[in-house]
């Protein structure tokens, strides 16, 4: 295996991709399942191409991005300050820990009908549920990061004369950043899941979730696979994006 990675260099991770596509292609050739249910990889990629060059898929893709991005933005605005506040007071944290942990553990899809009843089937509802789920994840991680801030660093700020509020903004905030990014990455994954599920509910007219479900009902399998593929690529890209931001702005993490 060492030899393999030496020859392939940075392309080593593509080996798995090639194997997957090969297995898929073989499964298609020997017709493990009906061609209607499992089209060839090529037909999926053609659908991706067609859909993403001005087709419905591209539009749905952007709708899903928009909803997920808004959700994570709101979730950050809510979750980060609350996380810092809860995390910096053990008493406060202990008193809300159970509630936060309970709701965080509740599948967001289970509360979706509730939000539907309150806010109606519009766009806002989808964003609200995703924000709700992601904010809890972010809050939890930020609070954890703040609580585990290096004690010495807080003491150092104190002996240098930093007032309490400055200790919060100059030290706590930065100390919690690595864990905040863990929260943001988990949060965005969750927000994407919730948004896509929400887009499958009655009353939805666009988004990747709607696209997948629509094509499934129309039996347009290559298109359905294409939408699934794009959703996967989107989830992966969000994660990668946050990793890159983290590496750029939280350069000290783990050093």
Partner 1 sequence: MNASETEQMVEDETAPSSRAGAPSPLSAAGASGDAHITIRGLSKTFGDAVIYDNFDLDIPRGRFVSVFGPNGCGKSTLINLISGLIEPDAGTIRFDGKRLRDTNFGYVFQNYREALFPWMRSIDNIRYPLKFRNIPRAEQKERVERLVERLGVTIDLNKYPYQMSGGQQQLVSIMRSLVIEPEVLFLDEPFSALDYEMTLFMRDQLQALFMDTKTTMVFVSHDLEEAVYLADDVMLLSRGPAEVADYVNVGIPRPRSAATISEDEFVRVKAHCLEIFQKLVRGT
Give, in order, the Cα–Cα distances in Å from 194 to each of 116, 134, 135, 197, 209: 13, 9, 13, 5, 10
State the maximum Cα–Cα separation within the chain, in Å, rounded to a whole number. Answer: 74
**Does residue 61 contact residue 123 with C-beta atoms inside 8 Å?**
no
| Residue 176 beta carbon to partner 1: minimum distance, rounded to whole angstroms | 11
Q: How many residues bind partner 1 (CB under 8 A)?
A: 21
232 part of the interface to partner 1, by CB under 8 A: no
164 part of the interface to partner 1, by CB under 8 A: no
- Cα dihedral: 249, 187, 167, 157 (round 10): -50
**Does residue 184 contact residue 139 with C-beta atoms inside 8 Å?**
no
One of 27, 158, 168, 201 touching partner 1 (CB under 8 A): 158
Residue 142: phi, psi to the nearest 5?
Answer: -65, -45
| Residue 92 beta carbon to partner 1: minimum distance, rounded to whole angstroms | 21
**Does residue 93 contact residue 141 with C-beta atoms inside 8 Å?**
no
37 part of the interface to partner 1, by CB under 8 A: no
With respect to partner 1, which residue has the nearer C-beta, 2 or 151? Answer: 151
With respect to partner 1, which residue has the nearer C-beta, 95 or 169? Answer: 169
90 part of the interface to partner 1, by CB under 8 A: no
Binding mask 121-150 for partner 1 (x = CB under 8 A): -----------------------------x
With respect to partner 1, which residue has the nearer C-beta, 127 or 182? Answer: 182
- Could you give the residue ranges of the DSSP H alpha helices within 106-251? 108-119, 123-147, 151-159, 164-167, 173-200, 208-217, 221-249
Binding piece for partner 1, criterion CB under 8 A, among 15-23, 64-72, 163-171, 184-192: 163-171
| Residue 51 beta carbon to partner 1: minimum distance, rounded to whole angstroms | 43
| Residue 145 beta carbon to partner 1: minimum distance, rounded to whole angstroms | 13
159 part of the interface to partner 1, by CB under 8 A: yes
**Does residue 145 contact residue 179 with C-beta atoms inside 8 Å?**
yes
One of 45, 174, 201, 229 touching partner 1 (CB under 8 A): 174
Q: Name the burial class of residue 178, with classes exposed (0-12), middle (13-18) and buried (19+) by CB atoms within 10 angstroms of its CB.
A: middle
Q: Name the burial class of residue 217, with classes exposed (0-12), middle (13-18) and buried (19+) by CB atoms within 10 angstroms of its CB.
A: exposed
Binding piece for partner 1, criterion CB under 8 A, among 17-25, 61-69, 133-141, 170-178: 170-178
The residues that touch partner 1, with contacts defined as CB under 8 A, are: 150-153, 155-156, 158-163, 166, 170-171, 174, 177, 250-252, 255
């Amino acid at each position: 295996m060492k030899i393999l990675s030496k020859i392939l260099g940075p392309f080593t991770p593509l080996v798995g991709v090639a194997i997957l596509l090969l297995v898929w292609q073989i499964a298609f050739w020997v017709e493990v399942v009906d061609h209607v249910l499992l089209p060839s990889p090529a037909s999926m990629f053609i659908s991706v191409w067609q859909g993403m060059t001005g087709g419905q898929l591209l539009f749905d893709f952007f709708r899903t991005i928009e909803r997920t991005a808004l959700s994570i933005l709101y979730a950050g605005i809510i979750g980060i300050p609350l996380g810092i506040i809860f995390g910096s007071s053990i008493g406060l944290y202990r008193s809300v820990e159970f509630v936060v942990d309970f709701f965080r553990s509740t599948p967001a899809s289970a509360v979706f009908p509730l939000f539907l009843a309150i806010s109606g089937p519009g766009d806002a509802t989808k964003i609200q549920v995703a924000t709700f789920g992601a904010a809890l994840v972010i809050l939890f991680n930020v609070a954890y990061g703040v609580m585990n801030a290096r004690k010495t660093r807080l003491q150092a700020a104190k002996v240098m004369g930093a007032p309490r509020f400055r200790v919060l903004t100059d030290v706590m905030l930065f100390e919690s950043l690595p864990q905040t990014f863990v929260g943001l990455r988990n949060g965005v994954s969750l927000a994407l899941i919730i948004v896509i599920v929400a887009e499958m509910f009655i009353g939805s007219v666009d988004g990747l979730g709607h696209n997948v479900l629509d094509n499934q009902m129309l039996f347009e399998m290559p298109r359905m696979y294409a939408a699934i593929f794009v959703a996967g690529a989107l989830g992966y890209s969000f994660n990668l994006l946050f990793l890159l931001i983290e590496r750029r702005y939280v350069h000290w993490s783990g050093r």
